[in-house]
């Protein structure tokens, strides 16, 4: 599946406010992100979701923003500072094959993996890692772009998730995306 990584210029487009017309962070992550939560935005790019989620978790919450591209994170930090929420944002420039997130094992309430699983070389391994980071009862929202990912490929993601111990609890309708809300039940 992984044949390219989203270029930085596309990162600017993804962070555009115009995107809210068909992918509203309030509607997509708003129901899942509460005050005080620890949230992981995996493959965050320039923070289209991270910055609003930082407002949602409040000053006592924490958003861990992870990306393989340093330039995405630099832009994210500028946007977070402009929005006055950089105090609760941590950024991590991870390697392609290693998240470096073991220190968060069992601590995360909510993981967002939006339009990133198809860019990963070993998606099944990534899903197992995300499962290990969640608290019991925590959720992973995974969404993949219909333009790049077929229904069959998204079904593979759901199969790997079930194998890892993540139960599909909802199939939210998200513009131009396949999406599933998964819960860590074990």
Ligand X SMILES: C[S@@+](CC[C@H](N)C(=O)[O-])C[C@H]1O[C@@H](n2cnc3c(N)ncnc32)[C@H](O)[C@@H]1O
Residues that bind ligand X (CB under 6 A): 5-6, 11, 14, 42-45, 48, 66-69, 72, 94, 96, 114-116, 119-120
Q: Which is nearer to ligand X, 6 or 89 (CB)?
A: 6
Q: How far is the CB of 90 from ligand X (least distance, A)?
A: 14
Q: What is the 3-state secondary structure (H, E, C) of the chain?
A: CCCCCCCHHHHHHHCCHHHHHCCCHHHHCCCCCCCCCEEEEECCCCCCCHHHHHHHHCCCCEEEEEECCHHHHHHHHHHHHHCCCHHHEEEEECECCECCCHHHCCCEEEEEEECCHHHCCCHHHHHHHHHHHEEEEEEEEEEEECCCCCHHHHHHHHHHHHHHCEEEEECCCCCCEEEEEEEECC
Q: How far is the CB of 7 from ligand X (least distance, A)?
A: 9
Q: How far is the CB of 89 from ligand X (least distance, A)?
A: 15
Q: Which is nearer to ligand X, 60 or 175 (CB)?
A: 175
Q: Which is nearer to ligand X, 21 or 60 (CB)?
A: 21
Q: Which is nearer to ligand X, 102 or 136 (CB)?
A: 102
- Closest chain position to ligand X (CB): 43
Q: Which is nearer to ligand X, 112 or 166 (CB)?
A: 112
Q: How far is the CB of 176 from ligand X (least distance, A)?
A: 11
CA 143 – CA 186 distance, rounded (Å) = 22
Q: How far is the CB of 6 from ligand X (least distance, A)?
A: 4
């Amino acid at each position: 599946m992984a044949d390219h990584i989203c270029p930085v210029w596309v990162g600017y487009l993804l962070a555009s406010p115009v995107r809210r017309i068909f992918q509203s962070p309030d509607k997509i992550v708003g129901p899942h992100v509460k005050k005080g939560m620890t949230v992981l935005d995996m493959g965050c790019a320039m923070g289209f979701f991270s910055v609003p989620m930082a407002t949602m978790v409040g000053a006592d919450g924490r958003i861990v923003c992870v990306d393989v591209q340093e330039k995405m994170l630099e832009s994210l930090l500028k946007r977070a500072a402009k929005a006055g929420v950089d105090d609760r944002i941590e950024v991590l420039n991870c390697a392609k094959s290693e998240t470096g997130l073991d220190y968060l094992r069992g601590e995360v309430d909510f993981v967002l993996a939006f339009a990133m699983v198809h860019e990963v070389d070993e998606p099944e391994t990534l899903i197992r890692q995300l499962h290990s980071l969640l608290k019991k009862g925590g959720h992973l929202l995974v969404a993949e772009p219909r333009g790049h990912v077929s229904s069959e490929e998204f079904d593979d993601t759901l199969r790997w998730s079930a194998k890892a111990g993540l139960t599909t609890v909802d199939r939210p309708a998200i513009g131009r995306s396949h999406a599933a809300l998964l819960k860590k039940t074990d």
